[in-house]
Chains A and B, each alone.
Chain A
C-alpha cells in the first residue's frame, strides 16, 4: 500500500500504527507531532492509529528558527 508522507509517496507493506511507522523511520516519537489526513494526533494515539492506503501523513518537529 502507499501513503503520502511529508509530501512524498511512501510505500508500506501493510497497515501499521503511527508508532511503528516512526520506529522504522528512526524518528523519536517524543519529539514530533503527527497529522493524519489533516487531523493532529495526540501522542497517546500513536500506538492506536494505523495508516491505510492513500492516507496523507505529516511528521513535524522543531528546527532552528527566529
Chain B
C-alpha cells in the first residue's frame, strides 16, 4: 500500500511492545511480512544499562520505524514527543496519539486534530490513531494526515471490529489510506477489517499476547492477504431469505402437482 511517498509491500504494521523477549518479537516481525513497526519514545533508563536494547532486534534496512506518541494526553506532549521521535529516528513519520481517557485509551479527538495540523505544518508525515467517527476522520484528512487510523476496539482489548458500519462510512468519506489500528484480537478480525475496505491493519497485542505469537503473526499475514483479496473480489450480496445453490428441478421421486 502507498502512504504519503512510501510504497509498502505489506498491509500489516506491527507493534514492538509486550513481547516476552526481543528474540520472539523479531521472529514474529520476520514471519509477518510487515515492513513497518511502531516504537515508543521514552527516557533512556540510566540506572539499568542492560546491554541489549530494542533497536538491536530491528533490522532497519528491512523495517521502517514509526515512532508513536503513546501516553501523551495533551497536544503539547504529543507534539513534543513527535519532535523527539523525529530527531531520534531521523524520519519525519509519526503515529500520532493524543489519549483522552486512561481506562479506554480512546483519543482526545479535539487535541488530535490540532496536533495533526501542527505537525503537518512542520513537515511530519502524520498517521493519527483515532476513533471510528467519520466526522473526525474527515477533519484529520483536512488537517493533512497522510492516513487515518480508526480503532476497531480499545487498544489491547482484542474485541475485534466493534462498529463495522462506522468503518465503512470512513472508507467512503476519505481519500487517504484507512488503517485499522487497535482492537484486533485474532486473524478473523484482521480479515474483517480488510473486507471493510481498510488499506491496512496495525496491531500489537493480538500477536504479542497470543499463546504462540509466531504462529499468530503468520496467521495475521494470511488473514490480511485473504481479507484484501475478498474485498477486491467483490463479495456477494446479503439476503434475508435463502437462495438455493442446487437446482430445484429433477429431484428423484418428485412430481409436479397439476
Given A32-B88, A33-B88, A35-B84; A64-B44 close (CB under 8 Å): no
Contacts of B87 in A (CB 8 A): 33-34, 40-43
Given A26-B49, A60-B41, A61-B42; A66-B205 close (CB under 8 Å): yes
Contacts of A32 in B (CB 8 A): 44, 88
A27 CB within 8 Å of chain B? yes
A13 CB within 8 Å of chain B? no
Number of B residues near A (Cβ < 8 Å) is 36
Contacts of B19 in A (CB 8 A): 64
A65 touches B44 (CB 8 A): no
Contacts of B39 in A (CB 8 A): 62-65
A6 touches B46 (CB 8 A): yes
A55 CB within 8 Å of chain B? no
A25 touches B53 (CB 8 A): no
Chain B 30-41 near chain A by CB (<8 Å), digits 1 or 0 = 000000001111
B236 CB within 8 Å of chain A? no
Nearest residue (CB) in A for B15 is A66
Q: Which of A16-63 contact B (CB under 8 A)?
A: 25-27, 31-35, 40-43, 58-63
- Can you list 9 residue pairs at the A/B interface with Cβ under 8 Å? A33-B87, A61-B88, A62-B39, A64-B17, A65-B15, A65-B17, A65-B68, A66-B16, A66-B17
19 additional A-B pairs beyond A25-B44, A59-B46, A65-B38, beta carbons within 8 Å, are A6-B46, A25-B46, A26-B49, A27-B49, A31-B53, A33-B41, A33-B84, A33-B86, A33-B88, A40-B87, A58-B43, A60-B41, A61-B41, A62-B67, A63-B54, A64-B17, A65-B204, A66-B70, A66-B155
Binding site for B on A (CB under 8 A): 5-8, 25-27, 31-35, 40-43, 58-66
